[in-house]
Structure 1
Amino acid sequence: MSMEAQTLRPPSRLLLLLEGRALQELGAFYATLPLLNLTATGDGHPVLVLPGLVTSDVSTKPLRSFLEGRGYAVSGWGLGRNYGLREGVQDGMLDLVRKITDEQGRKLSIVGWSLGGLYARQLAKLLPDHVRSVITLGSPFAANPKATNAWRVYEFVSGERADDAHTQSGFGGALSETPPVPTTAIFSRTDGVCAWQGCMEKPGSHSENIEVYGSHCGLGHHPAVVYAVADRLAQPEGAWQPFDRSGWRSLVFPNPNR
């Protein structure tokens, strides 16, 4: 981890207070569904959606329902609330990935929100032959574990130190290492929970960043995020291209490298 990543601080209290925007973003999601339903139809490949810290599959229901409507075989993680890598969680996710790909006969894409995105990256490193692509939503894989406003909650519910979460030597290695599959990191500079700099991927031949304007708690249903997720999943397997933010998209998706 770089010195800059180690010294990142959590978002300000003002940004944390502004996380109430998530409710407005949920309303915007339902209001824009007619437009979102104009996005490309999927090819039917399986998609696994992983929830964030202390949340469950209930939190990802809007996104999963939308993706099902676009033609994907969508699954929640089915492991209750996400309280960290407690006993059985790691094996449960690995078994689920194998089960889905065996049943579908195809690789799956994994979309992970916040802590769920950390899991998504590690699963792709451990099971690259099973994973088609990874999309993370506000996941702090490249920062000091305490560069979030949720690290105390993580320690309380998981029973482990936040600093230990970024070693993960037994679960795919270093979190900041890019998975060996097409990887997209979606983030917001006004994230009130995680330092946005720590949610950014190293751009490469099969990795990218997409920036949106929004909260952390609304990333799973923010209309711009939903559009970007649908766009990324619709790409043909083996023909990955970076996200196109030309035209009207430049108004919705700012340049992440500015």
Structure 2
Amino acid sequence: MKLRVPTIHREATAAAEALALVAHPLWRGVGVPRGDGMPVLLIPGFLVGDSSLRLLAKWLERIGYAPERSGIASNVACSSALVRRLERRLETIAREHRSRVAIVGHSRGGTLAKVLAQRNPHLVSGVVALGTPFLDPFQIDPVVAAAILATGALGTVGVPGVFGVSCLVGSCCREFWQHYRDPLDRGVPFVSVYSRRDGIVDWRACLDPSAEPIAIDSTHLGMAASVASFRVLGDRLARFARERRKLERIDRSGRSRRATVRSVAGRSRAAGASVAFDHEHGGAANAAGT
């Protein structure tokens, strides 16, 4: 762990960013592509829960997506246990919408989003991580690092629902951390949003080689509710939606069925050539779904 000079004071303007957002035309959906009902699983950051992403959920629904909660009340549980819970949630969402699911994760939520997509690429249309330190989870403000270690100590002495020290450095989450370090499947679009003004995470730690890096001007907390981050989300989610329609549908059982669109030029039907098309179902009709 590399010691850093505290920078958390930069987060003092996060509330102002949220106020600027709700006063901006973008909040009303002006200037962003309209969604097609694609489900979007939202995963909150360390210590907080789904309520921290309520502005994002409201905006996504407003512009035509189906935001879905993670079911996390406070993001302090063991990473491996959380991913297993999120996998069940992801499968349920995919089955209900008959669609691949986009995942947006803030801070620690981005770590969970990447590992979730790594384990279930056939269910995911794309991942956007907001201020997530992929290269080193401890390239963070020392005040926040101390809070993580204190939380780990609580879990180690037996506080239920809280990760322990073994989750960070022991064998408990060894597979999780391997997925965290590995490049994400190339078939899953992956975006890492970072800011040099981030007061919690060292922006350089967000530069995962397997991700498309996008720089914005925002605080760390502001990435969950700022004009800059929402503009990126509106653009990239529209791209995910376009690509997902080309790939596959998800049947009612939650299993994926890969599209088998093949060229039949130069072949006759009598020769047995066939073209199978998978069509998306339940798109706009499912647009209101938290």
**Which interval holds the TM-score relative to the shorter structure?**
0.7 to 0.9
Which region of structure 1 is more displaced relative to structure 2, 145-154 or 17-26? 145-154
User: C-alpha separation between the residues in 1 aligned to 2:149 and 2:26?
Assistant: 41
Q: Which residue of 1 aligns with 2:253?
A: none
Q: Which residue of 2 aligns with 1:212?
A: 216
2:243 to 215, 237, 242: 237
Q: 1:36 to 1:179 in 2, by over 3 A?
A: farther
**Pair 1:16 & 2:23 matched:** no
Q: Which residue of 2 aligns with 1:99?
A: 92
Unaligned 5+ segments in structure 1 are 1-5, 241-258
Q: Which residue of 2 aligns with 1:192?
A: 199
Q: What secondary structure sits across from 1:134 in the alignment?
A: strand
- Amino acid across the alignment from 1:16: I
**Pair 1:26 & 2:18 matched:** yes
Number of corresponding residues: 228
Q: Give TM-score scaled by structure 2 length.
A: 0.72
Q: Which residue of 1 aligns with 2:109?
A: 116
- Amino acid across the alignment from 1:112: G
- Per-residue CA deviations over 1:82-105 (Å, capped at 9, x if unaligned) read 113268423211100011001111
Identity %: 27
1:226 to 219, 224, 230: 230
User: C-alpha separation between the residues in 2 aligned to 1:43 and 1:22?
Assistant: 30
Q: Give TM-score scaled by structure 1 length.
A: 0.81
TM-superposed CA distance for 1:177, in Å, is 2.4
Which structure is larger by alpha-carbon Rg, 1 or 2? 2
**Pair 1:140 & 2:133 matched:** yes
Q: What secondary structure sits across from 1:58 in the alignment?
A: helix
Instruction: Please tell me whether the aligned partners of residues 141 and 199 of structure 1 are also in contact (alpha carbons under 8 angstroms).
Output: yes
**Structure 1 moving runs of 4+ over 6 Å:** none
Q: What secondary structure sits across from 2:103 in the alignment?
A: strand
- Amino acid across the alignment from 2:17: E
Q: Which residue of 2 aligns with 1:83?
A: 76
Structure-to-structure mapping, 1:31-42, within 5 angstroms? 31-34=23-26, 37-38=29-30, 39-42=32-35
User: C-alpha separation between the residues in 2 aligned to 1:83 and 1:116?
Assistant: 11
TM-superposed CA distance for 1:163, in Å, is 4.5
User: C-alpha separation between the residues in 2 aligned to 1:59 and 1:140?
Assistant: 19
Which region of structure 1 is more displaced relative to structure 2, 112-121 or 170-179? 170-179
Kindly indicate which of the two structures has a greater share of residues assigned to helix: 2
Q: Which residue of 2 aligns with 1:50?
A: 43
Unaligned 5+ segments in structure 2 are 156-163, 247-290
Structure-to-structure mapping, 1:52-67, within 5 angstroms? 52-67=45-60
User: C-alpha separation between the residues in 1 aligned to 2:213 and 2:33?
Assistant: 20
Instruction: Please tell me whether the aligned partners of residues 26 and 231 of structure 2 are also in contact (alpha carbons under 8 angstroms).
Output: no
User: C-alpha separation between the residues in 1 aligned to 2:209 and 2:28?
Assistant: 28
TM-superposed CA distance for 1:215, in Å, is 0.8
Instruction: Please tell me whether the aligned partners of residues 125 and 172 of structure 1 are also in contact (alpha carbons under 8 angstroms).
Output: no
- Per-residue CA deviations over 1:14-57 (Å, capped at 9, x if unaligned) read x3112111111111111114566121011211100100001111
Q: Which residue of 2 aligns with 1:246?
A: none
- Amino acid across the alignment from 1:156: A
Q: CA RMSD in A?
A: 2.4
1:155 to 143, 146, 149: 149
User: C-alpha separation between the residues in 2 aligned to 1:92 and 1:174?
Assistant: 16
Q: What secondary structure sits across from 2:50 in the alignment?
A: coil
